[in-house]
A and B are shown apart, each in its own frame.
Chain A
Amino acid sequence: MKLSVALQKLNALDRRWIFIGVFVAVAVPFFIPVSFVAEPTPTTLTFDRALGEALNRNQPIVLDVDFGPQTMAEMEPLLQAVLHRVFQSKRPVILLTFMTESAAPLRTVLARMEQTYQLRYGQDYVFLGYASAYAYTMHGLGTSFGNYFHADDRGTPIEKLPLMKNVHSLRDVSAVVNIASNSFPKFWIQYAVTPFDIDFLAGTTAVQAAEYFPFLQTGQLKGLLGGGRAAAEYETLLLRSGVLTRRGDATRGLGSQSLALLVILAFIAIGNVGWLAARRAGRTS
């Protein structure tokens, strides 16, 4: 009888216990390293294959980065993994953003990449900066870069950038990669990928990834990395292929993510036990 009453109390567990549980699960791996290795799934392998094919075409790629501080913990490791893959292949990259908040974190990441790979600005990469009216600009880039980006992020006129000399529109790039925490990959597909037949890859948050599976099946999206777990898988893949020499932030974050998921699952189980006990007690009374 006592056990039944105790179990019924679980049904209405104070949510502060849940908050404490999640906090401990997230915090512990920072002090006691928990090592996990994320094995690449077929989706991650497909992304790498598609990106590799685009890089082999000897044309620049466009990398559109659209995430702010809210999702930086999840998206920045993903961006870094993709940048390592691209810069290691020594293919030029044209970066741009449609979110004002993305420019500052992107500049910091690019400064690190410039040091690591001894990159020359204007030749190995350019950052065109922020553009407003994303859907219109995406559609317009199909025919012209110069009409929408008159100067780069540093104020240099676009025609003075050596990398942009032979790039007039999206037809002159091998692929567009969008690392975004919002719906921009969908806009790319609607306004540029389908009308201009462009190879398109995306990196999104884990929550959003489910939305893009239909586009992956139709081939409008050639590859998809969904969130921190996919970034960790990509780091494993890059580590094995020699692109990375040590594990990155996504793999380090797996400890917190995995323990938090286990704690949430445990609370869901506890909630169901409590609910069943309460239901049984209700029936007998």
Chain B
Amino acid sequence: MKDSITYRLPFAVMLVLGVFMMVQYYIPASPVVSARDMLLQWKQPLNGFIILLAIGGVAAVHVRKVWKQQKRWGYSVVTLVSMFAMIAAGMVGGMEEGSVFSDWFKYLISPIEATMFSLLAFFVASAAFRAFRARSTAATILLVSAAVVMLALIPSVANHIPIIAQLSDFILKYPNTAAKRAILIGISLGAISVALKTIFGVDRTLLERSR
């Protein structure tokens, strides 16, 4: 099985394209740039296929749920009807201003999304009430830092007590930036290692799992 061409071909493609996309960063010569542009353009139609796959996946999961009348299958009906109605509205009536698609987007999807996100303010307030307790030295430092940054966001406090604004600026610019940079470098090194393992075929679990 592992010697078959169908198994080896994806790794060969990953190796060639992966190495090329790494190397092209350092070679601004025109044939390399043209080849890179061609590869980048392939991604756009590929994205279209990915969306089709996603629609197919969502539809398959929910049709199965409705067919077998599994728990809460009614929500699956709503999902399927909403998804296909939106697709049909866009394909038949277009997506211009004033179209059914545009109106559904403006008067249904937008308020629903905004409402869901607005609820966060309430949950964040509740979580802050429970989490910001001076239980230990580290927790107290977190509590004081959060209080300073929040106070600095209130204009009348920041305008009248400049030390609060300066302190908040210091927290954001130095301890926060140092921590963020450390996390960022760690994530990047991890990403490089995963990418190299995938490109050179060391990590083959992705393909093997799908078999």
Contact = CB atoms under 8 A, between A and B. Distances in A.
Partners in one complex: yes
Point out which of A42, A263, A271 has the most chain B C-beta atoms below 10 A from its C-beta: A271
Contacts of B106: 104
A28 to B, nearest CB: 14
B154 interface: yes
Contacts of A41: 165, 169
A275 B184 contact: no
A144 B37 contact: yes
Contacts of B4: none
B93 to A, nearest CB: 15
A137 B184 CA distance: 23
A254 B165 CA distance: 16
A211 B109 CA distance: 29
Interface stretch (B57-65, B155-163, B197-205): B155-163
Interface stretch (A11-19, A88-96, A114-122, A240-248): A11-19
A70 interface: yes
A41 B166 CA distance: 10
A72 interface: yes
B47 interface: yes
Interface residues of B, number: 55
A172 interface: no
A107 interface: yes
B208 interface: no
Contacts of B33: 143
B41 A70 contact: no
A107 B153 contact: no
B12 to A, nearest CB: 21
Interface stretch (A32-40, A55-63, A79-87): A32-40
Interface in B19-51: 25, 33, 36-37, 40-41, 43-44, 46-48
Leading 7 A-B pairs by shortest Cβ distance: A70-B117, A69-B110, A132-B47, A36-B155, A133-B43, A140-B40, A136-B43
19 contacts: A19-B125, A22-B121, A36-B154, A70-B114, A101-B109, A104-B106, A105-B110, A131-B44, A133-B40, A143-B37, A217-B173, A257-B153, A258-B155, A261-B150, A263-B125, A265-B150, A268-B128, A271-B130, A276-B134
